[in-house]
Amino acid sequence: MVKRNLLLGLLLATPLATMAQSEDQLIQRYTELAGSKENATSLVTGLRDGKEVTLKQGTSTVTFTPKTEKMGYGNIDNALALAEASIGNDPTPTQLKSVLMGGTVDGVKYEGILNMRASGMGWGVIARELGFKLGEVKRSDNANPKGSSVEPVAKVERASRPEKPERPEKPERPEKPERSGKGR
């Protein structure tokens, strides 16, 4: 009972700003993919709440409702990172919808990242279906966030382990001398 109350107290003490910060970070990270901050906001909040997403470009408007229902920030990040890896930056709203919900982009048919997830597929399986490894997509996404002018640092090679010295050979045991005179 005490542990449960302590955990509940910690959860309630977590400031709401930390949750909003994750949302803000996702909106900032995927603004270029979505084409505008408004589109990125609609994507992140629509996926988070399981509600309609509206993407606008010029006078055209594209809407869709994800079949995934409500998603956590990590799942939203995975879905949008895979979409970005699939079609790159600066897609039209129709192309982005096709990659997320299913459709054709430049003659390539997509099953839809969100449709695959709603059917119960894991992120690793979805990434493989799209021809990627999720870890590589996420590492490249986190290595150099959009808008960052900082180049990734070169990986430092780990020093090799020194070899263990060989064990010295055991000296041979001297033979026991025979006992004289006893037991005869």
Q: Please report, for residues 10, 29, 63, 174, 183, the alpha-carbon distance to residue 142 in angstroms, rounded to integers and kept in the order given.
A: 28, 10, 29, 67, 84
Domain extent for 76: 19-143
DSSP one-letter code for 104: E
Whether 47 maps to a domain, the answer reads yes
- Dump pLDDT digits (tens) for 16-67: 444 445 899 999 999 999 999 999 999 999 999 999 999 999 999 999 999 9
Whether 117 maps to a domain, the answer reads yes
Whether 50 maps to a domain, the answer reads yes
Whether 162 maps to a domain, the answer reads no
Whether 149 maps to a domain, the answer reads no
**Distance from C-alpha of 104 to C-alpha of 97, rounded to nearest angstrom:** 10
For residue 44, what are its two tokens? 């992140």
Predicted TM-score of the model (pTM): 0.66
**Distance from C-alpha of 103 to C-alpha of 112, rounded to nearest angstrom:** 7
Whether 12 maps to a domain, the answer reads no
- Dump pLDDT digits (tens) for 52-110: 999 999 999 999 999 998 999 999 999 999 999 999 878 999 999 999 999 998 898 99
Whether 114 maps to a domain, the answer reads yes
Whether 151 maps to a domain, the answer reads no
Number of folded domains that form the chain: 1
